[in-house]
Structure 1
């Protein structure tokens, strides 16, 4: 598959056919209608090991761990955008998404420590973060995940243009949440416009 100008969609949920999966189905349908190339990364099915802060990337600009994360470095580099869809675990992103984020330390080290970026810093990319919280809406419900995502999108040199939050999913799932569906639809339409402007 051509890796150039592809939107990467990170499915950060371990649950099948639940809210995150249905949100992604909604997004991919709209991408297909607009003939935008994409790939869904079901990371809970991937072998992505934890960053151990060994310092190897600070010396070499590469990760010493060889697993399913290894080809994703090129995927992020060649991509035109990334969408992360994650449930909230203890007021942050899911465990596997955090593992993925930590492994992008490679990009951080190459850019800011070695001053030799391993990702094309001149290429424009667009990002979107979608988080699903089980509890009813409350202040700062998504702040923990947002802070991590802000750093993640900076590491992968992608401009984060939209954050979409769904609360109370335990009581009102995506299929029944018409207000959130409308909000998501508007965000996706805007995202597609931004992607088309880059093509």
Structure 2
């Protein structure tokens, strides 16, 4: 049996907010399907700003030492990378933007190109308080742009609008079931691709 690993990155300042609730539904599905999951909440981690020094372009590592190291150790070993963000002014959170910036040592813009192994699959999640879906779609596009620079193939996306607080999930159980299903079915999707020996 193929062992599937996932790293789930919640780009929120809160561990128990709306975005975390949705991601935890996906994680529950993953774990019940036998996926090994590591969960990170960026608001609880020590991740410094990118200094723009360009050290990473040639050295392929950051000269700073903080919690990015642990996250990327897990990311490089994972088959699935989930990135989630609430909408802050129609975009990803500041915490997630800093995380993206600090991922530069591993992306395809450095000397020698991409150093992230092939065969990784991405799940994008966006939650917002307002009604317009174009804002959550913009966040999804931003996350998938990030995936593109790290050799991660987007295979699932999930959005919810009109979520201002946890009380707004009432009556929306069907959507949360969809989130759970994304997690539960991901292992079968990955196994099919691995058995074929290529990304499709």
Q: Into which bin does the TM-score normalised by the smaller protein fall?
A: 0.7 to 0.9
Aligned to 1:135: 130
Are 2:33 and 2:185, in contact at CA under 8 Å, matched by a contact in 1? no
User: 2:121, 2:153 within 8 Å by CA — same for their partners in 1?
Assistant: yes
Distance 1:11 1:139, change over 3 A: closer
Instruction: Determine which structure has greater relative contact order: mean sequence separation of CA pairs < 8 Å that are 6+ residues apart, divided by chain length.
Output: 2
Q: Distance in 2 between the 1:127 and 1:20 partners?
A: 17
What is the aligned partner in structure 2 of residue 169 from structure 1? Answer: 163
The correspondence of residues 9-88 of structure 1 with structure 2, limited to 5 A, is 9-88=8-87
Instruction: Give the C-alpha shift of residue 179 in structure 1.
Output: 4.1
> CA RMSD, aligned part only?
2.2
Structure-1 separation of matches of 2:156 and 2:65: 32
Residue correspondences, number: 191
Q: Which range moves more in the overlay, 167-176 or 89-98? A: 167-176
Query: Compared with structure 1, are the counterparts of its residues 185 and 25 closer, same or farther at alpha carbon in structure 2 (3 Å cutoff)?
Result: closer
Residue 74 to residue 118, structure 1, CA distance change in 2 (3 Å): farther
Cα deviation, residue 56, structure 1: 0.6
Higher mean alpha-carbon deviation, 64-73 vs 141-150, is at: 141-150
**Corresponding residue for residue 114 of structure 1:** 111
1:149 maps onto 2:143 in alignment:
yes
Q: Return the offset for 1:75.
A: 1.9
Contact 2:38 2:74 in 1 (8 A): no
* CA displacement 1:144-173 (0-9 Å, x = unmatched): 323321221123321111211100002762
CA distance, structure 2, for counterparts of residue 175 and residue 139 of structure 1: 19
Q: Name 1:100's counterpart in structure 2.
A: 99
* 2:198 paired residue number: none
Tell me the CA shift for residue 64 of structure 1: 1.3
> Which ranges in structure 1 are unaligned for 5 or more consecutive residues?
none
Deviations 1:83-106 (A, max 9, x none): 112101111111111111111111
CA distance in 2, matches of 1:78, 1:23: 24
TM-score (normalizing by structure 1)? 0.85
